[in-house]
């Protein structure tokens, strides 16, 4: 029988197989003898807090993509009750618009067609030129008003304490601002303050620097809570502390909007299949240890902790991806009801998984992880709803994922080629050779993966 992660027996009886997305197949057997068996689905009828973890390059971002595209493939009447917001830190999700022709063999084995999705990609207003130059196909821009930042946001993003003179000056400036102010108004106010002579210059420099982040402007935030919408927020060219700030503002808005809507919905409507006025959001956060780390507070820490703890009522689901689960805030990890763990080797990371789900003390998580075959996208799943542990292989993606860590070089090559209007001439000789080399390595790896997958299936 198929597995539905995140759905307990009672919901299985009520909903059957409605409101689920296919994410992979069960893996049976150890190491090289492992083979694929029944389908594994993920419940999207209830809000969940999930963590996807694993070593570098094991398939975390890919798995996030599987969830995002799964939400798009739901029947319309369910899809339109949900919406998806991907926080893209590596600039790899805009390629969801393109069908995954590269993995056509693997997709065929799973009886899946290559399909592109209607992803709305948004980039910060002040960075549009950089994205255009890099050849990124974005759909719009977003920006914030300085007044949308709270005093804590400013202090946190500048790394200041409220009690130090610079922090005090900043708070005084903010206190004197009236509605609809710009950074320039803050600078003039800082200059006009009495005292703080040595701090004024520093604060002015910080504020001018903030104006250069490219996140303040007039385009504001596009509507994200739209039925069935998949929004990709590309944070890849923004420094980390500013990324956290952007996520904090976006998250606060989503939370407020859903909470207001939730109040209007009748109790019965809280059930997924009831009428939801504002769609129920799934927020997918890549590299989440940078947004809610265990050892420090970032501008987004408080908001994410709030969503994780109180998000069930307004019906907000969050999926965090991280290389190091132990670096994720323990409160966040402990609220997860589903963990998808790709291969992990650091002992502390494996232990952090054990410590959050006491039930799994009965299982030897490290043993399960060691039994995973050396294939991309294999994982163990800890499901607190059924209190079970599964070994799975994630499915291949319908759409074309970006090749991270390589993007700007990659596009540089094509941009130059296009600029010169000729196929060959614009190729940067060294980068091009490197790109071709990477491509052929990837191709060989894919061939090997699909070969071993076929062998597994034959062996079944």
Q: How far apart are CA 93 and CA 458, in angstroms?
A: 34
Q: How far apart are CA 103 and CA 404, in angstroms?
A: 17
Where does this chain touch ligand ATP (CB under 6 A) — which range of 52-60, 174-182, 197-205, 217-225?
Answer: 52-60
In terms of Cα–Cα distance, which of 297, 292, 253, 237 is closest to 149?
253
Q: How far is the CB of 176 from ligand ATP (least distance, A)?
A: 44
Q: Is 131 in the site for ligand ATP (CB under 6 A)?
A: no
Q: How far is the CB of 172 from ligand ATP (least distance, A)?
A: 42
Kindly calculate the radius of gyration of the chain based on its CA atoms and give it in whole angstroms.
23
Kindly list the distances between the CA atom of residue 48 and the CA atoms of 93, 96, 251, 280, 424, in Å, as whole numbers in the listed order. Answer: 22, 23, 16, 11, 49
Q: Is 60 in the site for ligand ATP (CB under 6 A)?
A: yes
Q: How far apart are CA 26 and CA 37, in angstroms?
A: 5
Q: How far apart are CA 34 and CA 414, in angstroms?
A: 41
Q: Is 63 in the site for Mg ion (CB under 5 A)?
A: no
135 phi, psi to nearest 5 deg? 75, 20
Of 94 and 196, the one with the shorter C-beta distance to ligand ATP is 94
Task: Pick one of 376, 415, 416, 417: the residue that binds ligand ATP (CB under 6 A).
Answer: 376
Task: Pick one of 3, 61, 143, 238: the residue that binds Mg ion (CB under 5 A).
Answer: 61
Of 129 and 436, the one with the shorter C-beta distance to ligand ATP is 436
Q: Is 338 in the site for ligand ATP (CB under 6 A)?
A: no
Secondary element (H or E) of residue 66: helix 60-72
Q: Is 110 in the site for ligand ATP (CB under 6 A)?
A: no
Q: Structure tokens of 237? A: 């060219």
Alpha helices in 318-423 (DSSP H): 330-335, 347-356, 365-371, 407-420
Q: Fill in the per-residue mask, 72 to 91: x = in contact with ligand ATP (CB under 6 A), - = not in contact.
A: --------------------
Of 225 and 321, the one with the shorter C-beta distance to ligand ATP is 321
Q: Is 112 in the site for ligand ATP (CB under 6 A)?
A: no
Q: How far is the CB of 59 from ligand ATP (least distance, A)?
A: 3
User: Going by C-beta distance under 8 Å and a sequence separation of 6 or more, which residues neighbour residue 277?
Assistant: 261, 264, 265
Q: Is 325 in the site for ligand ATP (CB under 6 A)?
A: no
Of 58 and 69, the one with the shorter C-beta distance to ligand ATP is 58
Q: How far apart are CA 301 and CA 105, in angstroms?
A: 42
426 phi, psi to nearest 5 deg? -80, 0
- Helices 165-175 & 197-211, crossing angle to 10 degrees? 70
Q: Is 377 in the site for ligand ATP (CB under 6 A)?
A: yes
The CB-side HSE value for 30 (13 A sphere, CA atoms) comes to 5
Q: Is 95 in the site for Mg ion (CB under 5 A)?
A: no
Q: How far apart are CA 90 and CA 68, in angstroms?
A: 16
Q: How many residues does the chain have?
A: 460
Q: Fill in the per-residue mask, 9 to 48: x = in contact with Mg ion (CB under 5 A), - = not in contact.
A: ----------------------------------------
Q: Is 404 in the site for ligand ATP (CB under 6 A)?
A: yes
Q: Is 233 in the site for ligand ATP (CB under 6 A)?
A: no
Q: Is 47 in the site for ligand ATP (CB under 6 A)?
A: no
Of 60 and 81, the one with the shorter C-beta distance to ligand ATP is 60
Q: How far is the CB of 23 from ligand ATP (least distance, A)?
A: 9
Interface residues toward Mg ion, by CB under 5 A:
60-61
Interface residues toward ligand ATP, by CB under 6 A:
54, 56-62, 323, 376-377, 394, 396, 401, 404
């Amino acid at each position: 029988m198929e597995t539905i992660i995140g759905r307990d027996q009672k919901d299985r009886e009520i909903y059957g197989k409605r409101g689920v997305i296919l994410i992979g197949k069960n893996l049976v057997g150890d190491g090289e003898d492992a083979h694929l068996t029944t389908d594994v689905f993920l419940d999207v009828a209830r809000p969940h807090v999930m963590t996807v973890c694993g070593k570098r390059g094991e398939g975390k971002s890919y798995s996030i993509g599987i969830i995002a595209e799964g939400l798009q493939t739901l029947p319309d009447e369910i899809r339109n009750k949900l919406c998806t917001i991907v926080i893209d830190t590596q600039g790899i999700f805009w390629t969801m618009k393109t069908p995954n022709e590269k993995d056509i063999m693997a997709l065929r084995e799973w009886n899946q067609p290559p399909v592109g999705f209607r992803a709305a990609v948004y980039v910060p207003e002040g960075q549009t030129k950089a994205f255009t130059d890099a050849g990124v196909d974005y759909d719009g821009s977003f920006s914030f008003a300085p007044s949308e930042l709270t005093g804590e946001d400013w202090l946190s993003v500048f790394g200041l304490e409220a009690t130090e003179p610079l922090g005090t000056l900043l708070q005084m400036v903010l206190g004197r601002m009236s509605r609809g102010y710009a950074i320039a108004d803050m600078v003039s106010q800082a200059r006009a303050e009495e005292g703080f002579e040595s701090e004024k210059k520093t604060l002015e420099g910080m504020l001018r620097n903030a104006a250069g982040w490219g996140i303040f402007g007039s385009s504001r935030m596009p509507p994200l809570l739209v039925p069935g919408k998949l929004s990709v927020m590309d944070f890849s060219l923004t420094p980390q502390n500013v990324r956290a700030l952007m996520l904090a503002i976006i998250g606060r808005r989503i939370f407020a909007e859903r909470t207001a809507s939730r109040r209007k919905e009748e109790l019965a409507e809280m059930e997924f299949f009831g009428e939801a006025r504002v769609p129920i959001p799934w927020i997918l956060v890549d590299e989440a240890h940078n947004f809610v780390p265990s050892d420090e507070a970032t501008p987004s820490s408080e908001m994410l902790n709030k969503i994780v703890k109180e998000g069930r009522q307004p019906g907000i689901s969050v999926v965090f991806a991280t290389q190091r689960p132990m670096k994720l805030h323990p409160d966040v990890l402990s609220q997860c009801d589903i963990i998808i763990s790709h291969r992990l080797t650091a002992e502390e990371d494996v232990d952090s998984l054990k410590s959050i789900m006491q039930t799994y003390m009965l299982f030897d998580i490290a043993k399960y992880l060691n039994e995973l075959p050396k294939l991309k996208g294999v994982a163990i799943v800890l499901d607190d709803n059924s209190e079970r542990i599964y070994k799975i292989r994630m499915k291949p993606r319908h759409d074309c994922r970006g090749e991270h860590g390589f993007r700007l070089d990659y596009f540089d090559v094509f941009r130059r080629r296009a600029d010169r209007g000729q196929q060959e001439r614009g190729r940067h000789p060294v980068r091009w050779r490197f790109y071709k080399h990477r491509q052929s390595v990837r191709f060989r790896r894919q061939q090997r993966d699909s070969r071993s997958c076929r062998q597994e299936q034959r062996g079944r």
